[in-house]
Amino acid sequence: MNKQTVIFTCLCASLLVACSGGPAGDSEANPDAVFLVSAFEGLYSLPRDWDGTNTEAFLEIETPNEAGEANVIVSREDLNRNCFESDFFNGTASKDEFSDRVFLDDVNNIEDSIISLVGSETLRIEPANGNVVLGTVITSFTSMDIQLCT
């Protein structure tokens, strides 16, 4: 085989990999992570003492993307205006890279937490500080029903 044939063969192989969705530059689809994080999708009522402010709050875990990462939104009660303040993007829920644990990242006051389900109605949130928070699944209304402050 001459040098030109080897170069041409390598070039063709590189193009085939690039055009066929080979490893370089692909999206990071992760069906296992999507499956695990999907189990947490929903709206949860947090206890009044969840962050030490004695205010009602809701935590919503949205549908995960193809990489298995879901947006997490916290809506807190504003006692002065009788409505809920919501940061429309508080953080994420995602699968741990090395295990089947699911984490909350960058979520106010409960960041870097491991989450798990206790039965079908309770979300267990275990922050790094050890103060476990238990959220209750809400099925009687959706996040669209929460009276947000304007």
Q: Is 70 exceeded by the pLDDT of residue 22?
A: no
Q: Is 50 exceeded by the pLDDT of residue 135?
A: yes
User: Which are the contacts of 150, defined by CB distance < 8 A and separation ≥ 6?
Assistant: 83
Q: Total domain count for the chain? A: 1
Residue 24: band (very low, low, confident or very high) from pLDDT cuts 50, 70, 90: very low
So what's the pLDDT on residue 10? 37
So what's the pLDDT on residue 15? 36
Residue 87 placed within a domain: yes
Q: What is the pTM of this model?
A: 0.76
Q: What percentage of the chain exceeds 90 in pLDDT?
A: 44
Residue 66 placed within a domain: yes
76: containing domain: 31-142
- Nearest to 109, CA basis, from 91, 85, 82: 91
- Nearest to 115, CA basis, from 36, 53, 56: 36
So what's the pLDDT on residue 99? 94
Q: Is 50 exceeded by the pLDDT of residue 101?
A: yes
So what's the pLDDT on residue 129? 79
CATH number at residue 133: 2.40.128.20
Residue 113: band (very low, low, confident or very high) from pLDDT cuts 50, 70, 90: very high
Residue 38 placed within a domain: yes
Q: Is 80 exceeded by the pLDDT of residue 92?
A: yes
Residue 7 placed within a domain: no
Residue 6 placed within a domain: no
CA distances from 34 to 9, 38, 53, 105, 149 (A): 38, 6, 33, 16, 32
Residue 10 placed within a domain: no
So what's the pLDDT on residue 89? 58
Q: Is 50 exceeded by the pLDDT of residue 52?
A: yes
- Across the range 121-131, mean pLDDT stands at 89
Residue 42 placed within a domain: yes
So what's the pLDDT on residue 21? 39
So what's the pLDDT on residue 146? 84
Give the tokens for residue 25. Answer: 């530059």
